[in-house]
Each structure stands twice: as structure tokens, then as C-alpha cells.
Structure 1
């Protein structure tokens, strides 16, 4: 793929992300995105055959940005706790900033879990691998002792995911995605969980 094509694709993803995040998936059309880009619809369809395909690419783009942001921060700290708390806070901030984008992914998952899992599933592995790298900061600094970094990172990630699910299932009518008001409550619980988890690993 040429550099020019890469730049055009990146521009499409950024513009589509703003539209999806502001208006949501249902109220956004490919024609509006093409107009924002000053592209013809034909050119937009050349890169992405339909809105669903574009949406999934935007989701991946946002997730990659979030993971990259945490990796950059991890290079500036020698504290495993600071690194993990930054990861939790960044995930919350990214989800809140792109609320309509992520909310649609939850409703899409309810309708077609296999299709969404196929596209978003690898995200879990990437976050687990990142948490493994963050835990290694603590191991290298002799803050914590970990026998298996990948397994421990996976356990921590399951704990954090389960915390969100546990809070949301108090209202069985809306158990997949938090309301804007619930983000702060969930994040505060996740922060406490990270601190408890690290205490259990401390040397």
C-alpha cells in the first residue's frame, strides 16, 4: 500500500471517528463522511465497502490509539502502579470521549456477538500483552513478584472487566454499557482493584 493511500485511509478514519463519536452510527451516513472529507462517495467506497466495515476500522483505530498512548506513558515511569492506573484512566477517558462509538459496539454485540468478537476479540489479547509489559516494570524494579506475566495480566484484566459487569448488572435492563454518569464510579472501583491486586504481588 502506497504512502498516499495510507494517508488517505488515516484521514478517513479520523473524520469518521469524529462523526460516529458525535452523532452515533445510526445517524451518520457515508455521504456525510465523504462530504466532510471533500471526497466523492465512490472514493470513500473504494477504501471501505460499507458503513459497517468503516465502523469496525474506526473502532480498531481508536483502540490502537489508546494502547499506543499507554505504551508511551509506560516509557516515562518506573512505577507499575502508576502505569496500570494510567491504563485504567486512559481507557475510561477514551470510552467517554467516544461514547456513541462504543455504545453502538455493545448493541451490535448483542445482535451479532460472533461477528463483533471476530473483529474486536484480538483487542483483548493486545491489552493483555500490554498489561503484561506493565507488570514487568514492577518485576524489573523489584516492586512485585510474578511467576507468569501473561497469566497474571489476564487475571487482572478479567478482574477489571468483571468489576464493570458487576456494577452494571445491578440494572438488568442495561448491563453491557455504562451511562456517562457511571464511568467515574466504575473507574474508582477499578483503581481500588489495581491497588489491591498489586499489594498481593508485592515483594
Structure 2
């Protein structure tokens, strides 16, 4: 892929991300995205054959931004706890900034959990790998002792996900995504759980 193609693709993803985050998937059209870009619809469809393929690419783009941001911090974090807290803060900030984007994912999951599960699995894998890297730094610095880093990273992530679901005040058959008001409560509980979790791993 040429550098020029990379630049155009990145520009499409950035503009589409703003559209999806502000208006949501359902209220955004490919024609509006093309107009924002000053592209022809034909050029936009050259890169992405339909809105769903563009949406999936935007999700990947957003997750990559978050992972890169956390990776940059982990290298200079003063402790494994600070690194994990930063990762949790960054995840919550990303979801808040892209509320409509992630809310649509949750509604799709309810409609077709198997298909969405396949789409979301690579994202979960990347976040799990990042938590593995964070735990490895903690072990290397003799802050914590971990028998199985991969399993421990998954346990932390499953605990964070389960806590989010458990705190939601709405009917879970309706939506698995928190309201903007629930973000702070979820974040506070997640941080408390991580502190308790890390206490058990202290060297």
C-alpha cells in the first residue's frame, strides 16, 4: 500500500470516527462522510465497500489509538498499579469520547452476539496482550509475583467487564452499554477492584 493511500485511509478513518462518535452509526451516511472529506462517493467506496466495513475499521482505529497511548505511558510508569490505573482511565475516556460508536457495538452484540463476538475478539486479544505487558513490567521490577501472566491478565479484564455489567442500572436485555452518568461510578469501582487484586499479587 502506497504512502498516499495510507494517508487517505487515515483521513477517512478520522473523519468517520468524528461522524460516528457525534451522530452514531445509524444517523451517518457514506454520502455525508464523503462530503466531509471532499471526496467522491466512488473514492470512499474504493477504500470501504460499505458502511459496516468502515465502522469496523474505525473501531480498530480507535482501539489502536488507545493501546498506543497506554503503551507510551507504561514505559515511564512509576509502578504497575499506576500503569493499570492509566489503562483503565484511558479505556473509559475512549468510550466517553466515542460514546455513540461503542453504544452501537453493544446493540449489535445483543442482536447477533456470535457475529459481534468474532469481530470483537481481536480487540479483546490486543487489550489482554497489553495487560500482559504491564504485568511483565511489574514482575520484572519485583513489584508483583504472577504464576501465569496470560491467565492473570484475562482475570483482570473479565473482572473489569463483569463489574461494568453488574453496575448498570438499566435492563440488561435492553443495552449493555452504560449511560454517561454511570461512567464515573463504574470507573471508581473498577479502580477499587484492581487495588484489591494487586494486593494479592504483591511480591
Q: Contact 2:110–2:175 (CA<8 Å) still a contact in 1?
A: no
- 1:27 partner SS: coil
The residue correspondences of 1:45-64 to structure 2 (distance < 5 A) are 45-64=45-64
| Alignment partners' CA distance in 2, 1:92 and 1:136 | 23
RMSD: 1.2
Are residue 188 (structure 1) and residue 188 (structure 2) matched?
yes
Q: Give the CA deviation at 1:170.
A: 6.3
Q: Structure 2: give runs of 5+ residues left out of the alignment.
A: none
Q: Contact 2:24–2:104 (CA<8 Å) still a contact in 1?
A: yes
| Alignment partners' CA distance in 2, 1:138 and 1:57 | 33
Q: Give the CA deviation at 1:175.
A: 4.7
The alpha-carbon distance between structure 1 residues 30 and 117, as it changes in their structure 2 partners (threshold 3 A), is same
Q: Contact 1:163–1:186 (CA<8 Å) still a contact in 2?
A: yes
| Alignment partners' CA distance in 2, 1:127 and 1:172 | 24
Q: Contact 1:20–1:101 (CA<8 Å) still a contact in 2?
A: yes
Deviation per CA, 1:44-78, whole angstroms, max 9, x where unpaired?
00000111110111011101111111000001113
Q: Give the CA deviation at 1:173.
A: 4.8
Q: Give the CA deviation at 1:137.
A: 1.6
Are residue 33 (structure 1) and residue 33 (structure 2) matched?
yes
Q: Contact 1:78–1:138 (CA<8 Å) still a contact in 2?
A: no
| Alignment partners' CA distance in 1, 2:40 and 2:101 | 24
| Count of residue pairs brought into register by the alignment | 203
Give the structure-2-normalised TM-score: 0.97
Deviation per CA, 1:106-143, whole angstroms, max 9, x where unpaired?
11111122222222211111111110110112111111
Q: Give the CA deviation at 1:172.
A: 3.6
Which consecutive aligned stretches of 4+ in structure 1 deviate over 3 angstroms post-superposition? Answer: 169-175
Deviation per CA, 1:147-190, whole angstroms, max 9, x where unpaired?
11111111111111111111126644545000000000000000
| Alignment partners' CA distance in 2, 1:157 and 1:172 | 20
Give the structure-1-normalised TM-score: 0.97
Q: Structure 1: give runs of 5+ residues left out of the alignment.
A: none
**What does residue 71 of structure 1 align with?**
71
